[in-house]
Structure 1
């Protein structure tokens, strides 16, 4: 269990115009562990049918940090598996109760980031499960390969941090000054890997639009870090705060803060995130993605 501290102020009461924009996100709180294929996980084994070929990167070729062409036809890396009973809020198609996200561990255009793929499954139709996940390509970027983590889903109310009219920002500035709090850092978008809610954009928002003309909804975020600093007021869970004592930017790798802030060992660009979006209007449930970093 992980518990996000309650907000220090009632945002909806102080800024009624923000109240309709409140959304519930499910913070997944990944922590190092040994998840089984039949569990929700980050970086763990998947409920993959034994008779189904493992997906390979289908090109164009990715690029490493030195802009050298990466090897084609590399196996995709398992990133996230969510079971419906753990996050029923996730918009599963009618014939699915498992979400799986995989990606190529090399950088790809147009964002110079891993390129994800999504699979929806129904457990009753999987049959025999693949016993061993294919090993990653030996040249794969290690920090694009998430270490196995168990999940601790928690529901948190959040508000958009970027997609607001200018006049609301004036009201937010007055609220911050009056309360001594920071809307942008502690009251708006929850940090970390999560389902639903709002993307934690670090650059200007770039929402994908489906071919049907509808703006897609945020499906999930896979984040490099679970929070950006060791002294945050809000996004470090209550249970983890004692282990954060003595945190510094250059803390040793064996400091207890490391598996709290960066449990999966990911680094996407410069502490970036990959955001997946879904069209909830068209029957195809089209999925797209975006990437940004600081």
Structure 2
């Protein structure tokens, strides 16, 4: 089943033309409980992992295997993120156990699906894995939508637009930040689903700001962004609980060799 996000209830660019140049495309993944295989894009599903390649282990918890979080084939990226040459598969894992000052420890792999050969099964996770740090297996329903900056809106522009934001909310009940700008939930590209002030990282190699790769969110529940197909329906999702219903944001540098990755957490 496809998932279709309702159009914004008002014309954002007509009301606030200043944000039009800041529009970005994002792919909402809409994870829903299911039985994906390694042939599928998924959240929390099995990975197409080569048997000849060791399974990643947490460098802080020796011998503790990382958990599959997201697998995405290039067709389901809908052109939002450019994959490295000869690669058609993105895989994200993380160690779900507690770390010094971090919620999870992520690992990002790009690979060519056709070169995998025999597939390795994921090892079992250790006992005591915190609840809500590993997603239940979910199929995904990729959907391309446009979004606008929320917490990432530059302060001078926010100050200039705030009176109009307030006027539109008073007249329609729609709040720019929560209803009209940045889509909630697990998504590829676009703007991070910040719940507070942005924490964009710089690349340690070149010093440039990194690009948002992926938001893995505890939930996408928000009545203004509920897909048509889910209205009035109780949907089983990935059952994540990252902090106080927060999210993990992954960033990458597309200029440096190996596309180094950094992560941030937000609640």
Instruction: Find 2:92's aligned residue among 81, 85, 101.
Output: 101
Q: By how many angstroms is 1:196 displaced?
A: 0.7
Please report how far the alpha carbon of residue 114 of structure 1 lies from its aligned counterpart in structure 2 after TM superposition: 1.4
Q: Distance in 2 between matches of 1:276 and 1:109?
A: 18
The alpha-carbon deviation at position 89 of structure 1 amounts to 2.2
Scaled by the length of structure 2, what TM-score is found? 0.93
Aligned residues: 260
State yes or no: 1:155 paired with 2:144: yes
Find the counterpart in structure 1 of residue 186 from structure 2: 193
Q: Which residue of 2 aligns with 1:18?
A: 19
**8 Å contact 2:92–2:109 — kept in the other structure?**
yes
Q: Give the structure 2 partner of residue 182 of structure 1.
A: 175
Structure 2 distance, partners of 1:11, 1:283, is 38
Secondary structure at the counterpart of residue 20 of structure 1: helix
Counterpart secondary structure, 2:38: coil
Q: Distance in 1 between matches of 2:232 and 2:164?
A: 35
Q: Distance in 1 between matches of 2:98 and 2:81?
A: 27
- 1:207 offset after TM fit, Å? 0.2
* Aligned residue in 1 for 2:104: 114
Residue 3 of structure 2 aligns with which residue? Answer: 2
In structure 1, the residue matched to 2:227 is: 237
Q: After the TM superposition, which residues 69-84 of structure 1 pair with which residues of structure 2 at under 5 Å, given as runs?
A: 72-84=62-74
Query: Which deviations, in whole Å up to 9, do the C-alpha atoms of 1:219-274 show, x marking residues without a partner?
Result: 1100001125xxx2x2111111121xxxxxxxxxxxx35x1xxx111100110100
Corresponding residue number in structure 1 for 2:218: 224
CA offsets 1:69-108 (integer angstroms, 9 cap, x no match): xxx4211000000000111322211131100000001122
Q: How do 1:117-156 and structure 2 match up within 5 A?
A: 117-130=107-120, 132-156=121-145
TM-score if structure 1 supplies the norm length? 0.85
Query: 1:22: Cα distance to partner?
Result: 0.7
Other structure's SS at 2:165 match: helix
Q: Shift of the alpha carbon at 1:145?
A: 1.5
Cα offset for 1:199?
0.8
Compare 88-97 and 1-10 and name the one that shifted more.
Answer: 88-97
Return the offset for 1:277: 0.7
**Is 1:89 matched with 2:63?**
no
Runs of 5+ in structure 1 lacking a partner?
Answer: 62-71, 244-255
Task: Please name the residue that 2:244 is paired with.
Answer: 270
Unaligned runs of 5+ in 2: none
Change (3 A) 1:29 1:108: same
Moved more, 175-184 or 49-58: 175-184
